[in-house]
């Protein structure tokens, strides 16, 4: 049984096949590829894009979707999250899509289920389908010529599962990744190239991936206000100048903290392109894991 817990669960060849399928799905309104299948969404953390995209993806493939409202589930009556998943599993779904704050939770499930587990976000560590759609968006933008491209991931990299998955995935495709963050958000990994300010690297990069400041994961207050943080880390017209750089963000964007209003309507910003691609990539992931192809 194949699962998607981290991007390393897929080989490079498998990812390229997913992208071949995603390109077809981009132009496909609906199909019956997963007709008769049932996908269960379990989101124990907030989500707009990932949950919406998985629902859209499953329905576009002809599957039915059950999105359990965990706020009214029996976890509120003392049931453990593990037992909740075991009870869902007993109902016989064809895949379970899970977002949970515990970084290790998804991996602990795989010995107990007989359907694919798909990680839709695990704590601070992994968000594999986000990284897959980020790489797809970069590849589409550069017509597949991504070897040697340089990506700067800017902001709260330390608390970001998006940064965690991209730093694993992108280098496998020949992309050079660096992090840009204040000292308090620096990643504890000496092998990574890290910078304090985007100005130090802006002339060398092809892609800037801005991140949200993950206040909900902080145990202390690092900045007196987000405006103080934004002075150095908000991506503005001045940051980019006339440079031909692709601007990405996994969402949700904190306007004028992560990216300025002006840059959100700039043609170099592909944030909504990422969202669109996220449906197609997740269609391809669901097809692969549910049909075991």
Beta carbons of 113 and 151 less than 8 angstroms apart: no
The least CB distance from residue 180 to ligand CP, in Å, is: 19
- Quick one: 33 or 246, whose CB is closer to ligand CP? 246
Q: Applying CB under 6 A, does 50 fall inside the site for ligand CP? A: yes
- Site map for ligand CP, 192-231, x if CB under 6 A? ----------------------------------------
Count residues contacting ligand CP (CB under 6 A)?
11
Helix 271-291 crosses helix 49-60 at what angle (to 10 degrees)?
A: 50
Q: Report residue 148 CA to chain centroid gap.
A: 22
* Piece of 30-38, 176-184, 244-252, 282-290 that binds ligand CP (CB under 6 A): 244-252
Q: Applying CB under 6 A, does 251 fall inside the site for ligand CP? A: yes
* Piece of 14-22, 23-31, 44-52, 71-79 that binds ligand CP (CB under 6 A): 44-52
Q: Applying CB under 6 A, does 272 fall inside the site for ligand CP? A: no
- Quick one: 50 or 84, whose CB is closer to ligand CP? 50
Q: Applying CB under 6 A, does 119 fall inside the site for ligand CP? A: no
Q: Report residue 109 CA to chain centroid gap.
A: 20
The least CB distance from residue 203 to ligand CP, in Å, is: 28
CA distances from 53 to 16, 58, 59, 193, 284 (A): 20, 8, 10, 32, 12
Give the helix ranges, DSSP H, for 29-160: 49-60, 81-90, 105-109, 128-141
- 189 vs 218: CA distance, rounded Å: 19
Indicate the residue whose CB is closest to ligand CP: 50
Which residue, among 70, 64, 122, has the nearest Cα to 93 in the 3D structure?
64
- Quick one: 68 or 86, whose CB is closer to ligand CP? 68
Q: Report residue 218 CA to chain centroid gap.
A: 20
Q: Applying CB under 6 A, does 128 fall inside the site for ligand CP? A: no
- 170 vs 158: CA distance, rounded Å: 17
Torsion angles phi and psi, residue 238, rounded to 5: -65, -35
Q: Applying CB under 6 A, does 250 fall inside the site for ligand CP? A: yes
Which of 23, 49, 186, 276 lies at the binding interface for ligand CP (CB under 6 A)?
49
Which of 144, 171, 174, 252 lies at the binding interface for ligand CP (CB under 6 A)?
252
Q: Applying CB under 6 A, does 48 fall inside the site for ligand CP? A: yes
- 129 vs 81: CA distance, rounded Å: 22
Return residues touching ligand CP (CB under 6 A). 47-51, 121, 127, 130, 250-252
């Amino acid at each position: 049984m194949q699962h998607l817990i981290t991007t390393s669960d897929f080989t490079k060849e498998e990812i390229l096949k997913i992208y071949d399928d995603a390109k077809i799905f981009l132009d496909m309104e609906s199909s019956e590829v997963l007709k008769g299948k049932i996908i269960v969404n379990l989101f124990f953390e907030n989500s707009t894009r990932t949950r919406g995209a998985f629902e859209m993806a499953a329905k576009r493939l002809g599957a039915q979707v059950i999105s359990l409202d965990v706020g009214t589930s029996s976890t509120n009556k003392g049931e453990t999250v593990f037992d909740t998943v075991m009870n869902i599993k007993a109902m016989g779904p064809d895949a379970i899509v899970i977002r949970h704050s515990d970084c290790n939770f998804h991996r602990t499930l795989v010995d107990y289920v007989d359907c694919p587990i798909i990680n839709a976000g695990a704590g601070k560590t992994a968000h594999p389908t986000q990284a897959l759609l980020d790489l797809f968006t970069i590849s589409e933008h550069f017509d597949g010529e991504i070897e040697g491209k340089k990506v700067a991931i800017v902001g709260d990299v330390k608390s970001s599962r998006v940064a965690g998955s991209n730093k694993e995935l992108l280098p496998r495709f020949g992309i050079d990744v660096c992090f840009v963050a204040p000292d308090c958000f620096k990643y504890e990994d000496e092998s990574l190239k890290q910078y304090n300010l985007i100005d130090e690297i802006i002339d060398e990069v092809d892609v800037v991936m801005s991140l949200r400041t993950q206040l909900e994961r902080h145990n202390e207050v690092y900045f007196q206000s987000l405006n103080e943080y934004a002075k150095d880390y908000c991506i503005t017209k001045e940051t980019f100048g006339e440079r031909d750089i692709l601007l990405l963000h996994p969402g949700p964007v904190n306007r004028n903290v992560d990216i300025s209003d002006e840059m959100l309507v700039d043609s170099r910003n592909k944030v909504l392109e990422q969202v669109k691609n996220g449906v197609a990539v997740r269609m391809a992931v669901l097809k692969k894991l549910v049909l075991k192809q």
